[in-house]
Amino acid sequence: MLKKIISVAAVSAVVATSISATELNGRGASFPGPVYKAWTSAYNKATGVKVNYTPTGSGDGIKSIIKRSVDFAGSDKPLKPEKLAKEKLYMFPAVVGSIVLAYNIDGVKDGELKLSRAAIAAIFSGKATNWDDEIIAKDNKGLKLPHEPITVAVRADKSGTTFNFTYFLNKIDESFKVSKKPEWTAKKVVAGKSNSGVTANIKQIKNSIGYIEYSYKMSENLPAAQVQNKEGKFINPTVKSFQDAAKYASWTKENDFYAVIGDPKGATSYPIVAATFILLPAEKADTNKEVTKFFDWAYANGDKAAADLGYVPLPASTKDEIKKYWAEKIK
């Protein structure tokens, strides 16, 4: 009888190992949520391996991977090499995306609203409280902007999207602090959890504006503003303008690909772009090999899905560097 119990236990252990080897769990940044959803679905169909990713926000992702409660985490805020060393983590980029300023103003269509750098700073600081404020109106002579209060839609959670957006704001006005969860000083502020929560608030609230990842704007058919870049040009958020911006990214495997690429140079560059990153626990080599198999597959097969959703796939040279990084780190 005892021999039979041991045998059953051994079989159960084999089954459990088999199940764990074909299922991976990750959570974190909502910014890449749509593309990860497309990639994980296609990967499951191609390989039978199930990759679960929950877009809970970068802050939660970082916390979860530090606690080792997930196999991998997503973060739009890159961690500096010294932080990675302290927490025994590896990091590499997955894809590049963009942050758009989506709005809900009656009579103002997609791409019609132009927002200068000064106007954006005024809106998010609370210096401009109505849509017909002169700092906004002067670049929008052909639009009938209402004399209505501006509702600013922001994130309620610690967010890598917020980190990258405040990085851009800080380039405009140093009084803005770069943060995953800042104290906003705008007069009317509504907070939503994750990119989907902010998107829902913009869609529901008249005369609102907020910062969201481009694919959320596309999926909900929200209008978004032309944004003035550092060369003074008003740029529409398009895949082409994101690509023009992304080419200025500079990262190397020697510093774990740490880079913040917001507000790049270039007359045709859209100014609010960001990479999103994957975090791995250094000690879990076997699981990390399975996670990197997934991203290796996505790099080879997922570029079209990424581009269709409005993301910018990593260039081949960067993918090659990442693969070298994996070979060095994961043994």
> Mean pLDDT, the chain, as a whole number?
92
pLDDT digits (tens, 9 = 90+) for 53-72: 999 999 999 999 999 999 99
Same domain, 123 and 234: yes
pLDDT digits (tens, 9 = 90+) for 131-183: 999 999 999 999 999 999 999 999 999 999 999 999 999 999 999 999 999 99
Same domain, 113 and 75: no
Between CA 251 and CA 96 the distance in angstroms is 13
pLDDT of residue 21: 55
pLDDT of residue 149: 98
CATH code of 41's domain: 3.40.190.10
Look up the pTM and report it.
0.85
pLDDT higher than 90, residue 296: yes
Same domain, 257 and 278: yes
pLDDT digits (tens, 9 = 90+) for 255-267: 999 988 889 999 9
Same domain, 207 and 105: yes
pLDDT confidence tier of residue 250, bands split at 50, 70 and 90: confident
Residue in this structure with the two tokens 């191609």, named with its chain if needed: 46
Same domain, 125 and 229: yes
Between CA 62 and CA 180 the distance in angstroms is 12
Taking residue 77's Cβ as centre, other Cβ atoms within 10 Å add up to 24
Q: Which residues of 220-255 are buried (b: 16+ CB within 10 A; e: fewer)?
A: eebbbbbbbbbeebebebebebbbbbbeebebebee
Same domain, 320 and 220: no
Q: How many domains is the chain built from? A: 2
Between CA 163 and CA 179 the distance in angstroms is 5
Residue 159 belongs to what domain range? 99-246
pLDDT confidence tier of residue 4, bands split at 50, 70 and 90: very low
Same domain, 79 and 104: no
SS3 6: helix
Same domain, 141 and 219: yes
